[in-house]
A and B are shown apart, each in its own frame.
Chain A
Amino acid sequence: MVERSILPLRLTKATLHRSGKTLVGPVDMTLAPEGFTIVMGPNGAGKTSLLRLMHGLERPSSGRVEWAVDEVASRPRQAYVFQQPTLMRRTALDNVAYPLIVHGMKRQAARARAAEALRGVGLGDHAGKQAWYLSGGERQKLALARALIRNPEILFLDEPCASLDGRAIHDIEHILLTAHAAGTRIVMITHDHGQARRLASDVVFVHHGRLHETAPADAFFVSPQTQEAHAFLKGDILI
């Protein structure tokens, strides 16, 4: 049986308030079934809130966030990589095997799959290590391997490469491009303009909780339509 795609994701006047402040919204947008979307914008613009809203970690205060399928049916097909990867107090291998085991796979089979996934992200030698002892880049790769282990249809990433060096960024981008080539829809926040240019198929520019611009990457980087995006790309400080 071919599973029905959970995409497109449609946000209709979706808003998120927290203690009287509007963090994001109202947002109207549609995430098409394919692509590598980069979310850009200054700090505090509401990028993370937007992703959390899409992923269902936050419920919209008003408006709607709708998948092509029932919300409950959409959950197992999504994954999220946090800015600070939350590593469980287990070995690297058990961290990656966890999502499989918790959703019913036999421990042994799950560990075998996890070991394979760890090799895939270049952490094959660290399988038996406590996750806590990994370096920053290794942790982020571990979180990626864990997020991808159940072959999600869509993967959200919140600045996965913040404060990593060139080598680690290169590795992570490679993992992401591989996953994308294999059919994973990706939505990723980044502050790194170079990275955005390297990866994006389309760009969402967020400022003050609003979507200021959504455009294909080529168009966005060459000729941004809004003044804010133009200033942002030029390197001006947006307040």
Chain B
Amino acid sequence: MNDVLEGLRQAALLIVTFDADLMQISARSLQVTLTATLIASAIGLPLGGWVAVHRFRYRRSVIALMNALMGLPPVVVGLLVYLMLSRSGPFGVFGLLFTPTAMIIAQVVILTPLIASIAHQAIRELWAEYHDLLISMNTTRGQRIRTLLWDARRALLTAALAGFGRGIGEVGAIMIVGGNIDQATRVLTTAIALETGKGNFALALGLGFVLIGIAIAVNMAIHFASKTEVSSRW
């Protein structure tokens, strides 16, 4: 119990003193995960819509695969991205390993199936509702997907937030491809892992509380910005 109280004290101290390291690490965490969430949403939301609307031969398999990939183990993704980006890998020439870009790439791989899968669920329900109407109105497939994405935007926001949640707390992949380098690729989760390893429980806990605080703050900000729950249905 003492550790927790000490952690809270440390967290408060770090925050009120605007600790430079903490600010930098937090900013990097946000930067990496927000960017990854944006890119994964840009891929995953239309993909979810497309799979919901388009009938093709292996549709069921694609959906099953998408759902299965939601549980993709981050360390394995980290390992694969590492191999791709390492000097001897196919994308080694870009020199991306151990940079925030590499961390973003790894997180995009982890978040895209999750976002696509949740988006697909939401859009599928709306599509069942709109199906006859949009066909009757003689819309093209692209128009149908765009309409569904727009009208399901609240549910899709939840998909994006779920992605953000998974990304901000993720440590396995970014540890491997980022390397947890001080001043370069250290983020909140990797810092916590490091401090815990060093036995610095109070600092680790302090960072942990900051991490939780950021996750809640981002969710609340988007929640209020998009006025969810203001009207009863959407």
Instruction: Give A residues with C-beta under 8 Å from B.
Output: 55, 57, 75-76, 78-80, 82, 86, 88-90, 98-99, 102-103, 130, 132
A130 to B138, CA, bound (A): 24
Measured CB to CB, the nearest residue on chain A to B144 is: A102
Q: What residues of A have a CB within 8 angstroms of the CB of B152 in the complex?
A: 89
Of B136, B143, B151, the most chain A CB neighbours within 10 A belong to B136
Question: Would you call B54 an interface residue if the criterion is a C-beta within 8 Å of the partner chain's C-beta atoms?
Answer: no
Q: Which residues of B contact A55 (CB under 8 A)?
A: 136
Knowing A102-B147, A130-B234, A132-B233, say if A88 contacts B136 (CB, 8 Å). no
Q: Are A88 and B130 in contact (CB under 8 A)?
A: yes
Closest B residue to A88 by CB, please name it.
B151
Distance of A80 Cα from B130 Cα, bound (Å)? 13
Asked if A57 meets B132 with Cβ closer than 8 Å, knowing A89-B234, A102-B139, the reply is yes
Q: Are B129 and A76 in contact (CB under 8 A)?
A: no
Q: Is the CB of B138 within 8 A of A86?
A: no
Q: Is the interface of A mostly helix, strand, loop or mixed?
A: mixed
Additional 5 contacts, C-beta under 8 A, given A86-B129, A89-B151: A57-B132, A88-B147, A98-B147, A102-B143, A130-B233
Give, as a whole number of angstroms, the nearest-CB distance from A42 to chain B: 23
Nearest CB of chain A from residue B154's CB, rounded to whole Å: 9
How many residues of chain B are within 8 Å of chain A by beta carbon? 17
Complex CA distance for A132 and B232, rounded to whole angstroms = 10
The reply to whether B151 and A82 contact each other, CB–CB distance below 8 Å, is: no
Cβ 8 A contact of A57, one of B136, B143, B151, B234: B136
Of B129, B137, B139, B151, the residue contacting A90 (CB under 8 A) is B151
Instruction: Name the one of A76, A82, A89, A130 contacting B132, with C-beta atoms under 8 angstroms.
Output: A82
B220 close to chain A: CB less than 8 A = no
The CA of A78 and the CA of B234, in the complex, are separated in Å by 31
Most chain B CB inside 10 Å of its own CB: which residue of A75, A79, A89, A90: A89
Is B231's CB within 8 Å of the partner chain A?
A: yes
Give every chain B residue within 8 A of A89 (Cβ-Cβ): 126, 151-152, 233-234
| Residues in B whose Cβ lies below 8 Å from that of A102 | 137, 139, 143, 147
Expressed in whole angstroms, the Cα–Cα distance for A102 and B231 within the complex equals 26
Q: Is the CB of A86 within 8 A of B130?
A: yes
Q: Inside 8 A of B151's CB, which chain A residues have their CB?
A: 88-90
Q: Do B138 and A76 touch across chains, with their CB atoms under 8 A apart?
A: yes
0 or 1 for each of B218-234: is its CB under 8 Å from A? (1 = yes):
00000000000001011
In the assembled complex, the Cα of A99 lies from the Cα of B137 at a distance in Å of 7
Given A89-B234, A102-B143: A57 in contact with B137 (beta carbons within 8 A) = no
Contacts of A86 in B (CB 8 A): 129-130, 132-133
Q: Does A79 contact B234, Cβ atoms closer than 8 Å?
A: no
Residues of chain A lying within 8 A (CB to CB) of residue B231:
130
Query: How far apart sit A55 and B152, CA to CA, in the bound complex (Å)?
Result: 27
**Bound complex: CA A78 to CA B136 (Å):** 8
**Interface flags, B118-146, vs A, CB<8A=1, else 0:** 00000000100110110111110001000
Interface centre among A90, A102, A103, A130 (most CB of B within 10 A): A102
Residue in A closest to B135 when the chains form the complex, CB atoms: A57
When distances are taken between beta carbons in the complex, the residues of chain A under 8 Å from B143 are 102
Given contacts A89-B234, A102-B147, contact A82 B138 (CB under 8 A): no
CB distance from B118 to the nearest CB of A (A): 18
Residues of B within 8 A of A82 (CB): 132-133, 136
Contacting residues of chain B (48-66) with chain A, CB-CB under 8 angstroms: none
The complex places the Cα of A89 from the Cα of B129 at a distance, in Å, of 11
Complex interface: chain B residues within 8 A of A130 (CB): 231, 233-234
Q: Looking across the interface, which residue of chain B has its beta carbon closest to that of A55?
A: B136
Closest to A86 in B: B133
Interface string of B15-51 (1 = CB under 8 A from A): 0000000000000000000000000000000000000
